[in-house]
Amino acid sequence: MHFRSRKSRLGGWLVVAGAAATLLSLAVIPTPAQAPAFKAPKTKDGKANLNGIWQANNEANWDIRPHSSYAGPVSSLGAAYSTPAGLGVVEGGEIPYKPEAAAKQKQNFADRMKLDPEIKCYMGGVPRSTYMPYPFQIVQGTGHIMIAYEYAGAVRDINMGAPTKAPADSWMGWSNGHWEGDTLVVDVTSLNDSTWFDRAGNFHSDALHVIERYTPIGPDALQYEATIDDPKVFTRQWKMSMPLYRRLEKNAQLLEYKCVEFAEEVLYGHLRKQPVQGKGDSK
């Protein structure tokens, strides 16, 4: 198109020069309509190299939808544990709930202190684990890719061979992956119905099917997309997307957030012997 418009205004050999200049400019400066074609560094076996420690840097864990800031559920924690505003990560902003599911989400939010699986240190599921405020690490093996999450020590094993079927439903689901160019595409099935999408009570059923796409968009960033399909809860498929950032600290590493200890009082505190008899065996 560019080429043609130039041709109409300029004649003869200038066309050639113009075309060359256009190609050159396209190669160097991306036009707004075109994403820069980032050439992902490759592993020695020629795959896009996703190895690294990654983390989302957004407010999706509070609410994946666009939202204003609001007070947290524990008033004594004041501004420190309230909710920051967020642009949302749901494409189009709306989650297409069926009417009864929309009501359940509102109830989940109202009862979140009792119901949010994060409070109980339950594994985050997919996609929530990706954008919880903790890093995760991709260890890219040849036949399998492992994703280890700091939160709750959750882990996923992505089978890169011929797709296999889940032996049972689980918290982190069953992942079969393949490459589409530089994009790692992961098909996630057999997720249980016990995880949420965020702290706002956005939820799914055990019919959830997630297709994730991890695409390098720069040396230190991936674009993450998750297509959500759950006919029991939503009227149609919908998609969330966000960048993930590499942790660039020289000594970056996944540490432990084995949160069971931090959730025991909330889960079992009412069953304590009263009064408390000294410290526990492992304190």
Partner 1 sequence: MRHVLSSLIAFAPAALLVSAPVFAQAPVTAKPAPAAKNWTMPRTPDGKPDLQGTYSNATTVPVARPAYLGAKEFYTDEADKVASAAQAPAGRGGGRAAAPRAAAAVVVPEEGGLAVHYDTSQFGLGGPTVKRAASLRTSIITGPEGRVPPMLPEAQKMVAEKRAYQQAHQWDSAQNRPLAERCITWGFEGPPMMPVGYNSTLEIVQGQGYVAIVQEMIHDTRIIPTDGRPHGPSEIKRWMGDSVGHWEGDTLVVETVNYNPQVVIQGGPVSDAAKVTERFTRIDADTITYQFTVDDPKTWTKPFSGEYNMVHIDGPVYEYACHEGNYGMANNLSGARATEKK
- Least Å distance, CB 75 to partner 1, is 27
Which one of the spans 97-105, 115-123, 203-211, 220-228 is the region binding partner 1 (CB under 8 A)? 115-123
Site for partner 1 in 154-193 (CB under 8 A): 154-155, 157, 164, 167-168, 170-172
If the CB atoms of residues 210 and 242 are measured against partner 1, the closer one turns out to be 210
Give the nearer residue to partner 1 in terms of CB position, either 89 or 152. Answer: 152
Q: Which is nearer to partner 1, 100 or 281 (CB)?
A: 281
Site residues (CB under 8 A) for partner 1, limited to 254-273: 254-256, 258, 260-261, 263-264, 267-269, 271-273
**Residue window 208-237: x/- pattern of binding to partner 1, with contact defined by CB under 8 A:** ------------------------------
Using the contact rule CB under 8 A, the part of the chain among 26-34, 70-78, 140-148, 227-235 near partner 1 is: 140-148
Closer to partner 1 by Cβ: residue 11 or 280: 280
Number of shown-chain residues binding partner 1 (CB under 8 A): 55
249 forms part of the interface with partner 1 (CB under 8 A): no
Two structure tokens written together for 154 = 């959750």
